[in-house]
Chains A and B, each alone.
Chain A
Amino acid sequence: MTADAMERRPGADRRARVWSGLARQGVLAALLLLILFGALRYENFLGAYNVLSVLRYNSMFALVALGMCFVIMTGGIDLSVGAVAAMASVVSALLSPLGLTPALLGGVGAGLLAGLLNGLVIVRLGILPFIATLATMLAAQGTALLLADNQSVSVSWDGLFVELGQGDLLGLPIPALLAAAAFALGSVMLNYTGFGRTVLAIGDNEEAARLMGLPVDRVKLGVYALSGALAGLAGVVLASQFGAGQPTEGIGWELFAIAAVVVGGTLLTGGVGSVGATLSGVLLLGLIFNILNFENGRGSISLSAYWQSVVRGLVLLVVVVLQSRLTGRRAS
């Protein structure tokens, strides 16, 4: 007997694959539509100044979202990234008089430590990721305030440190280049390494992954460490870009990152996800903010920052509902 007889619905499978492809491309299509809308409506929307500042500003969120994407693909969550980024920004600001390298390593290292702590608590003690990273979030917030003595910490302007956040290379903002490199590496890691495939297998069916003999605990520890380190890097960029370590920044970043990941089509239950679509998700949410600014600038409306948040929330809801419709059809 051949599988032809066993494979009952070849037509349905083909349709399903088209749908799943659409769902993945949906966020990219929405992003392109939004860009087209902005370009037609506002004169300076595609001007170098706007494009570069959008990229520069959103690169921090992109780094955090990349780490979150890996965590969510294992079926976990990391609520600590915002607080960890704030803590790392203080650490790197404090170290910045020593030069770029100590500040960079210090900030990323602080994030890595927080991530490893998350991972160890989750893997070794069996604490739910939601609770473990919530605890780390509170601890990191407190640590940031302690280190900064409850105020922002100015960075040293003497060395190269501020270049990291404010400088350009080949006409492009350095933080955007950093984020681009991180996403390129992340994409290769997800699609072409055992680590990446194991991440997806764990989110799909952790017990099965274990029974297949995959290194489940090691990979879970790895994703939280990665998320922490990327949040640390985002914190370094934050300090460098704003010229100060910001102990109270980062509140709500984790939610922005989760939103970007979900908009990018990654399942919150894990097992399905895409690094590229996460980047599209970050840019989509960032551009909505940008476009509302333009709209305010035209004077046709006057939306406060609070309203902008409401609008973002609505967009998130719409995208997620559309997506569950698409994937729902895919599943049936």
Chain B
Amino acid sequence: MVDAAPLLAMRGIDKSFSGVPALTAAELTVGRAEVHALIGQNGAGKSTIIKILTGAHRPDAGSIQFDGSAIAPASPAEAQRLGISTIYQEINLVRYRSVAENVFLGREPRRLGLIHWSRMNADAAALLRQFDIDVDVTLPLGRCSIAVQQMVAIARAVSTDAKLVVMDEPTSSLDDREVEVLFGVIRRLKARGVSVIFVSHRLDELYAVCDRVTVMRDGRTVAQSRMGELGKLDLVMAMLGRRLTESEARGIHGTERAGGAPLLEVEGLRRGHRVRDAGLSVRRGEVVGLAGLLGSGRTEVARMLFGADAPEGGLIRHKGAPARFRAPGEAIRARIGFSSEDRKAEGIIPDMSVRENMTLALLPHLARAGVVDTARQQRIADEFVRRLGIKCASPEQRIRELSGGNQQKVLLARWLCTDPELLILDEPTRGIDVGAKAEILSLVEELADGGLGVLMISSELEELVQGADRVVVLRDGRSVAELEGDALTEDAVMHAMADGGEPAPGRAPAAAAGSGTGSGGVSGGGAEARGG
């Protein structure tokens, strides 16, 4: 065998789910004893390509070369036998079983055909000690910290004599110190000749441990490079599919709305390791965008503002007075609405009518002595169907028969009919077609003109730059930039997402290329430059 041959070469991989392509001619090549970063936005195809590699999905087309031969794993068990082990983001272990069992389930040491418990426990303890983990291996796994559980998952993967370990966002629930332990383990794996595929959204982490990187977008492999040769800004551009030359300053939406009275002001918001120091403010009649890469804490911030999660620190002022919403009900009473990013799971009730879906949040007010005033409900539904231009046969049509864009409008109407002062929209245009997107955005603009404050979370730079008056950029749970007026360009937002204002403490410094380009026109200074 040629030494230079890569350990893994996936080529021309196609995969579609019920006609919708998830992967198109995707590629992934990993060398021996290499730590390989795999990055991309939501829906870029990372999970799909990993699931094909680990036998959970079969590809429609393409080839996989692994360790010198062509493979086509049909199940996770087969992939494991071939030497490919996976550690999933949701730690996929069994919580009621002991640490030792979780390491050895399915491959327990035997004596006379029966499980040899004492040897299994001793082996598991020895294995974990190699990773500097000293834990009682007879404890049920569920009682160990997440970090230990993660290490157990890794120990399991390594003990199967894996040649390739796939780690799908292993650090998303670890704190800084635990991340360091994990990195130590990864380096040790590499020293033993084991290759690692590392999926993460934290760019600094990638530069700290990875040798090479593959960037995916829209089901395609859009970049493959040595880690050091690609700056952070290049990575972000590749992920988002934007070139610096393409992006322009804010286009059509030039009218500056006079900033009204502040509705919500947030400082130093903190919760766990996802949100470390977030600050923003929303005034009446203003659309504020919240930008950041996946995992930067956008949704977590929104949930705290809405009272769905309790902040661990920081100050929230509502109309100038300190406020703390302990439950979404309190936020709703303060006339704040929140439209979730997951329309299917948290938003619509598919089999209910448009009318019922629209008036759900309003039900307590519509009921008299417990009986819903259907006549009033009807009037409200008719009014909003007309006002928002919702395309449906009648308000009695079941909402699941509507297009994504119209479903989104019904959800918007659900909050609008409660007469809110502030609306938080998490990814309002995800999964809806281009025309409907523009309609939703102009609707948001119209609402703001009418005095509503809007906080809009979005992964699409264009949408933020064109739709928002001001954009706050989050990075690793910190507000790193606030951009408005002429300073609000796609370039500037990308710079802030990639590099932030300053390197986060405790993380590895950025690679040379990234930090060089990262300083222009962003950071705290950019925020002062009000245009118009």
- Residues from chain B with a CB closer than 8 A to the CB of A1 are 132, 177, 180-181
The interface bits of chain A over 1-45 (1 if a CB of B lies within 8 angstroms of the residue's CB, else 0) are 111111110000100110000000000000000000000000000
- Residues from chain A with a CB closer than 8 A to the CB of B128 are 3
Interface 9-mer from A101-109, A139-147, A190-198, A308-316:
A190-198
The CA-CA distance from A197 to B148 in the complex, in Å, is 22
- Residues from chain A with a CB closer than 8 A to the CB of B135 are 3, 7
Q: How many A-B residue pairs have CB under 8 A?
A: 98
Q: How far is the CB of B8 from chain A (nearest CB, A)?
A: 19
The interface bits of chain B over 93-118 (1 if a CB of A lies within 8 angstroms of the residue's CB, else 0) are 11111000100011010000111010
The CA-CA distance from A4 to B177 in the complex, in Å, is 13
The CA-CA distance from A17 to B140 in the complex, in Å, is 9
Residue B237 interfacial (CB < 8 Å): no
Residue A230 interfacial (CB < 8 Å): no
In B357-398, which residues have CB < 8 Å from any A CB?
Answer: none
Q: How far is the CB of B472 from chain A (nearest CB, A)?
A: 34
Interface 9-mer from A64-72, A112-120, A208-216, A237-245:
A208-216
Q: Determine if B92 and A212 form an interchain contact, defined as CB atoms under 8 angstroms apart.
A: yes
The CA-CA distance from A254 to B113 in the complex, in Å, is 33
Residue A111 interfacial (CB < 8 Å): no
In A132-188, which residues have CB < 8 Å from any B CB?
Answer: 188
Q: Determine if A192 and B115 form an interchain contact, defined as CB atoms under 8 angstroms apart.
A: yes
Q: How far is the CB of B82 from chain A (nearest CB, A)?
A: 11
The CA-CA distance from A4 to B95 in the complex, in Å, is 20
Q: A1-B132, A1-B180, A7-B135 are in contact. Are A214 and B105 (CB under 8 A)?
A: yes
- Residues from chain A with a CB closer than 8 A to the CB of B115 are 191-194, 197
- Residues from chain A with a CB closer than 8 A to the CB of B106 are 194, 198, 212-214
Q: How far is the CB of B349 from chain A (nearest CB, A)?
A: 23
- Residues from chain A with a CB closer than 8 A to the CB of B101 are 197
Residue B446 interfacial (CB < 8 Å): no
Q: Determine if B143 and A209 form an interchain contact, defined as CB atoms under 8 angstroms apart.
A: no
The CA-CA distance from A16 to B144 in the complex, in Å, is 12
Residue B145 interfacial (CB < 8 Å): yes
Q: Determine if B133 and A2 form an interchain contact, defined as CB atoms under 8 angstroms apart.
A: yes
Residue A261 interfacial (CB < 8 Å): no
Q: Determine if B114 and A192 form an interchain contact, defined as CB atoms under 8 angstroms apart.
A: yes
- Residues from chain B with a CB closer than 8 A to the CB of A188 are 114
Instruction: Point out which of A13, A205, A272 has the most chain B C-beta atoms below 10 A from its C-beta.
Output: A205
Q: How far is the CB of B499 from chain A (nearest CB, A)?
A: 29
Residue A201 interfacial (CB < 8 Å): yes
The CA-CA distance from A244 to B181 in the complex, in Å, is 68
Q: Determine if B148 and A3 form an interchain contact, defined as CB atoms under 8 angstroms apart.
A: yes
Interface 9-mer from B72-80, B269-277, B286-294:
B72-80
Residue B449 interfacial (CB < 8 Å): no
Q: Determine if A204 and B97 form an interchain contact, defined as CB atoms under 8 angstroms apart.
A: yes
The CA-CA distance from A13 to B148 in the complex, in Å, is 14
Residue A200 interfacial (CB < 8 Å): yes
- Residues from chain A with a CB closer than 8 A to the CB of B180 are 1
Q: Determine if B92 and A207 form an interchain contact, defined as CB atoms under 8 angstroms apart.
A: yes
Q: How far is the CB of B135 from chain A (nearest CB, A)?
A: 5
Q: Determine if A205 and B145 form an interchain contact, defined as CB atoms under 8 angstroms apart.
A: no
- Residues from chain A with a CB closer than 8 A to the CB of B148 are 3, 6-7
Q: A13-B143, A194-B106, A197-B108 are in contact. Are A212 and B76 (CB under 8 A)?
A: yes
The CA-CA distance from A2 to B134 in the complex, in Å, is 6
The CA-CA distance from A205 to B149 in the complex, in Å, is 15
Q: Determine if B105 and A201 form an interchain contact, defined as CB atoms under 8 angstroms apart.
A: yes
- Residues from chain A with a CB closer than 8 A to the CB of B56 are 211
Taking a contact as CB atoms closer than 8 A, the residue among B75, B117, B143, B144 that contacts A213 in the complex is B75
Q: Determine if A204 and B144 form an interchain contact, defined as CB atoms under 8 angstroms apart.
A: no
Taking a contact as CB atoms closer than 8 A, the residue among B86, B113, B144 that contacts A211 in the complex is B86
- Residues from chain A with a CB closer than 8 A to the CB of B136 are 13
Residue B309 interfacial (CB < 8 Å): no
Chain A, Cβ-Cβ closest to B113: A193
Interface residues on B, range: 35 or more
Q: Determine if A7 and B145 form an interchain contact, defined as CB atoms under 8 angstroms apart.
A: yes
**SS of A interface (majority):** helix
Q: Determine if A213 and B76 form an interchain contact, defined as CB atoms under 8 angstroms apart.
A: yes
Q: How far is the CB of B305 from chain A (nearest CB, A)?
A: 29
Taking a contact as CB atoms closer than 8 A, the residue among A2, A213, A271 that contacts B132 in the complex is A2
- Residues from chain A with a CB closer than 8 A to the CB of B132 are 1-3
Taking a contact as CB atoms closer than 8 A, the residue among A8, A13, A208, A215 that contacts B93 in the complex is A208
Q: How far is the CB of B251 from chain A (nearest CB, A)?
A: 46
Q: Determine if B134 and A204 form an interchain contact, defined as CB atoms under 8 angstroms apart.
A: no
In A257-293, which residues have CB < 8 Å from any B CB?
Answer: 271-272
Q: Determine if A200 and B114 form an interchain contact, defined as CB atoms under 8 angstroms apart.
A: no
Q: Determine if B108 and A210 form an interchain contact, defined as CB atoms under 8 angstroms apart.
A: no
- Residues from chain B with a CB closer than 8 A to the CB of A204 are 94-97
- Residues from chain A with a CB closer than 8 A to the CB of B113 are 193
Q: Determine if B92 and A205 form an interchain contact, defined as CB atoms under 8 angstroms apart.
A: yes
Residue B178 interfacial (CB < 8 Å): yes
Residue B432 interfacial (CB < 8 Å): no
- Residues from chain A with a CB closer than 8 A to the CB of B92 are 205, 207-208, 211-212
In B240-258, which residues have CB < 8 Å from any A CB?
Answer: none
Taking a contact as CB atoms closer than 8 A, the residue among A192, A193, A200, A213 that contacts B97 in the complex is A200
- Residues from chain B with a CB closer than 8 A to the CB of A16 are 143
Q: A6-B178, A8-B145, A211-B86 are in contact. Are A13 and B108 (CB under 8 A)?
A: no
Taking a contact as CB atoms closer than 8 A, the residue among A17, A193, A200, A213 that contacts B94 in the complex is A200
Chain A, Cβ-Cβ closest to B101: A197
- Residues from chain B with a CB closer than 8 A to the CB of A212 are 76, 92-93, 105-106, 156
Chain A, Cβ-Cβ closest to B77: A213
Instruction: Point out which of B88, B96, B134, B177 has the most chain A C-beta atoms below 10 A from its C-beta.
Output: B96
- Residues from chain B with a CB closer than 8 A to the CB of A194 are 106, 108, 115
The CA-CA distance from A7 to B133 in the complex, in Å, is 10
In B47-62, which residues have CB < 8 Å from any A CB?
Answer: 56
Q: Determine if A13 and B97 form an interchain contact, defined as CB atoms under 8 angstroms apart.
A: no
Q: Determine if B105 and A6 form an interchain contact, defined as CB atoms under 8 angstroms apart.
A: no
Residue B147 interfacial (CB < 8 Å): yes
Taking a contact as CB atoms closer than 8 A, the residue among A7, A191, A210 that contacts B144 in the complex is A7
- Residues from chain B with a CB closer than 8 A to the CB of A208 are 92-94
- Residues from chain B with a CB closer than 8 A to the CB of A3 are 128, 132-135, 148, 151
Q: Determine if B88 and A4 form an interchain contact, defined as CB atoms under 8 angstroms apart.
A: no
The CA-CA distance from A215 to B76 in the complex, in Å, is 11
Residue B139 interfacial (CB < 8 Å): yes
Q: How far is the CB of B158 from chain A (nearest CB, A)?
A: 14
- Residues from chain B with a CB closer than 8 A to the CB of A17 are 139
- Residues from chain A with a CB closer than 8 A to the CB of B108 are 194, 197
The CA-CA distance from A192 to B78 in the complex, in Å, is 25
Q: Determine if A271 and B94 form an interchain contact, defined as CB atoms under 8 angstroms apart.
A: yes
Q: List, sorted by A's number, 9 A–B pairs whose CB atoms are closer than 8 Å.
A: A1-B132, A1-B181, A6-B133, A194-B115, A197-B101, A197-B115, A200-B97, A204-B97, A208-B94
Chain B positions near chain A (C-beta within 8 angstroms)? 56, 75-78, 80-81, 86, 88, 92-97, 101, 105-106, 108, 113-115, 117, 128, 132-136, 139, 143-145, 147-148, 151, 156, 177-178, 180-181
Given A1-B180, A3-B133, A192-B114, 20 more A-B residue pairs with CB atoms under 8 Å apart are A2-B132, A3-B151, A5-B177, A6-B147, A7-B135, A16-B143, A191-B115, A194-B108, A197-B105, A197-B115, A198-B105, A200-B94, A200-B97, A205-B92, A209-B94, A211-B92, A212-B92, A213-B77, A213-B80, A271-B97
Chain A positions near chain B (C-beta within 8 angstroms)? 1-8, 13, 16-17, 188, 191-194, 197-198, 200-201, 204-205, 207-215, 271-272
**Nearest 7 interchain pairs by C-beta:** A213-B77, A204-B94, A192-B114, A208-B92, A3-B133, A3-B135, A271-B96
